[in-house]
């Protein structure tokens, strides 16, 4: 505070005329920056004025009878003292005095520094706070005496004491801060009060708002809140309805997509089957034959199991086509394919149309003897079928069977097995370097089976 600084300077530099003159110049410089400052006075220990900013002539000026002088003279405390509102003798305005004693080096009372604040100018600071038409801001002493009140009314600070008012009687006894609602004893207006005691000074600050204004604002806010909440609820309901509709549509679309996906999978499976099937005979096609033989070759090589291959060629089939036509040739191929399918019974075996009238049979985990049994069964069933073929020396459709069997551990590539079985389907002969155990040539019935040729 300003008075504290002046008191400290006086205690350090003394209260001689030179120092008083310097302080007076300092007050003159500071005054434009403090519009609420009414005046500054310095009195000695007898109450004589050493400086009075509002009166250049100090003759006869004394503060001896003022409450602040009496307080500091009798109380050794160095704390500042806030006096009750008084009317200035110099300016005739209502002022609040803030004073502090200053001592000599040994602590003896030397005088008082007094700063006078213009009540109306001081209350302009409160005027920056919006308390509505019925609101008020007050600062009172803890003994109930009014210090200042905004809006300012002279009758409110003249001898008023609020010690018996409800806010003092009910709340300020045990509380330093709180709120209350009661009717003012000054003007009879019902207000809502918020109060706080100062921790350093014997003052209580109270801010009051007119109850009806507060409730009116609350009611307006409540109506606005109800409108906003209602709008939000309607908006939420609309969004929820749109979301539910979107979810239902999405569910329908997902269901349709699932059905379409299932149809697509079925179509893909059918296409995959068609891609692996020969359209004429219904047997596996060349692609399926190559992939299966490659897979079984790797398995046989890995497990060390035998693998046999039958390559079946329909004898004199070109003559059959030339004589009976291609449609009859297609029917002949279909009948031969049915015979082969009936003779090959294991799920792991594969009957495939290799090309033209040539058909291959893959027999996993089968040695040469087992392959001969299957070949014999095929030729016998084909003989029993007795498909007429006038241009054949045998008078019916016959076939030649080439057998190639090998142990998986000795097989390097599956193409060698095909080459061996195909080559010896018509002319058995020894093949070196491919590791085949058996190459067999069978003559069609009624001729006996061809001689087995060991390699």
Task: Let me know whether 345 and 386 are in one domain.
Answer: yes
Q: Which residue has the tokens 């279909």?
A: 334
Q: Which of 12-16, 157-161, 166-170, 449-453 has the lowest mean pLDDT?
A: 449-453
Provide the CATH number for the domain around residue 442. 3.30.70.270
Residue 170 DSSP symbol: I
Task: Let me know whether 447 and 316 are in one domain.
Answer: yes
| Closest among 222, 2, 198, 12 to 102, alpha carbons compared | 12
The distance of Cα 148 from the centroid of its chain, to the nearest Å, equals 56
Q: CB atoms < 10 A from the CB of 150, how many? A: 22
Task: Let me know whether 114 and 129 are in one domain.
Answer: no
- Whether 97 shows a pLDDT value over 60: the answer reads yes
pLDDT in tens, 281-298: 889 999 999 899 888 888
| Closest among 341, 361, 373, 333 to 417, alpha carbons compared | 361
User: Do the domain assignments include residue 259?
Assistant: no
- Whether 335 shows a pLDDT value over 90: the answer reads yes
- Residue 121, judged by CB atoms within 10 A of its CB (0-12, 13-18, 19+), counts as middle
Please list the residues that pair with 277 across neighbouring strands.
284
Q: Which residue has the tokens 């093949």?
A: 431
- Whether 418 shows a pLDDT value over 90: the answer reads no
| pLDDT (average), residues 93-111 | 83
Record the tokens describing residue 177, joined without a space.
Answer: 């801060």
User: Do the domain assignments include residue 447?
Assistant: yes
Record the tokens describing residue 184, joined without a space.
Answer: 């003012």
d(CA 354, CA 11) in angstroms, rounded, equals 124
Q: What is the pTM of this model?
A: 0.41
- Whether 197 shows a pLDDT value over 70: the answer reads yes
Q: Which residues contact 69 (CB under 8 A, 6 or more apart)?
A: 43, 47, 63, 99, 112
**Domain that residue 96 falls in:** 2-121
Q: Side-chain half-sphere of 410: how many Cα atoms within 13 Å?
A: 13
Per-residue pLDDT band for 162 (boundaries 50, 70, 90) equals low
Record the tokens describing residue 280, joined without a space.
Answer: 């004429």
pLDDT in tens, 32-64: 777 777 778 888 888 888 887 767 666 667 788
Provide the CATH number for the domain around residue 161. 3.30.450.20
pLDDT in tens, 199-255: 676 777 777 776 676 677 677 788 888 989 999 999 999 999 999 999 999 999 998
User: Do the domain assignments include residue 222?
Assistant: no
d(CA 439, CA 428) in angstroms, rounded, equals 7
Determine contact, residues 24/53, Cβ cutoff 8 Å. Answer: yes
User: Do the domain assignments include residue 165?
Assistant: yes
User: Do the domain assignments include residue 239?
Assistant: no
| pLDDT (average), residues 374-391 | 91
């Amino acid at each position: 505070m300003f008075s504290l600084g002046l008191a400290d300077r006086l205690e350090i530099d003394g209260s001689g005329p030179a120092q008083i003159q310097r302080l007076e110049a300092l007050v003159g410089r500071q005054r434009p920056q403090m519009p609420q400052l009414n005046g500054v006075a310095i009195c000695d220990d007898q109450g004589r004025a050493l400086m009075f900013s509002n009166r250049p002539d100090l003759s006869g000026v004394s503060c001896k009878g003022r409450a602040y002088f009496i307080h500091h003279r009798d109380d050794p405390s160095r704390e500042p003292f806030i006096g009750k509102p008084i009317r200035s003798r110099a300016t005739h305005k209502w002022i609040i005095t803030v004073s502090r004693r200053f001592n000599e080096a040994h602590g003896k009372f030397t005088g008082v520094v007094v700063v006078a604040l213009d009540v109306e100018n001081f209350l302009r600071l409160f005027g920056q706070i919006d308390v509505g038409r019925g609101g008020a801001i007050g600062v009172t002493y803890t003994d109930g005496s009014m210090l200042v009140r905004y809006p300012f009314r002279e009758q409110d600070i003249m001898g008023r004491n609020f010690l018996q008012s409800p806010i003092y009687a009910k709340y300020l006894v045990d509380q330093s801060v709180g709120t209350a609602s009661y009717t003012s004893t000054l003007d009879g207006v019902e207000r809502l009060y918020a109060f706080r005691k100062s921790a350093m000074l014997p003052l209580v600050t109270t801010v009051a708002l007119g109850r009806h204004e507060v409730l009116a604002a609350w009611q307006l806010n409540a109506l606005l809140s109800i409108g906003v909440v209602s709008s939000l609820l309607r908006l939420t309901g609309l969004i929820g309805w749109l979301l539910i509709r979107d979810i239902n549509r999405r569910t329908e679309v997902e269901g349709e997509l699932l059905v379409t996906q299932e149809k697509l999978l079925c179509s893909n499976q059918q296409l995959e089957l068609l891609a692996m099937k020969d359209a004429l005979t219904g047997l596996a096609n060349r692609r399926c034959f190559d992939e299966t033989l490659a897979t079984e070759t790797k398995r046989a090589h890995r497990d060390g199991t035998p693998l046999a291959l039958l390559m079946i060629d329909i004898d004199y089939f070109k003559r059959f086509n030339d004589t009976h036509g291609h449609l009859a040739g297609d029917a002949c191929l279909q009948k031969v394919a049915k015979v082969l399918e009936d003779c090959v019974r294991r799920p792991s075996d594969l009957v495939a149309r290799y090309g033209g009238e040539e058909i291959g049979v893959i027999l996993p985990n089968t040695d040469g003897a087992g392959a001969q049994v299957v070949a014999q069964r095929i030729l016998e069933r084909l003989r029993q079928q007795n498909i007429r073929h006038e241009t054949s020396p045998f008078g019916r459709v016959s076939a030649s069977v080439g057998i190639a069997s090998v142990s998986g551990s000795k097989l390097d590539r599956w193409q060698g097995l095909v080459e061996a079985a195909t080559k010896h389907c018509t002319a058995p002969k020894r093949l070196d370097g491919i590791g085949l155990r058996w190459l067999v040539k069978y003559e069609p019935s009624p001729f006996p089976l061809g001689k087995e040729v060991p390699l």
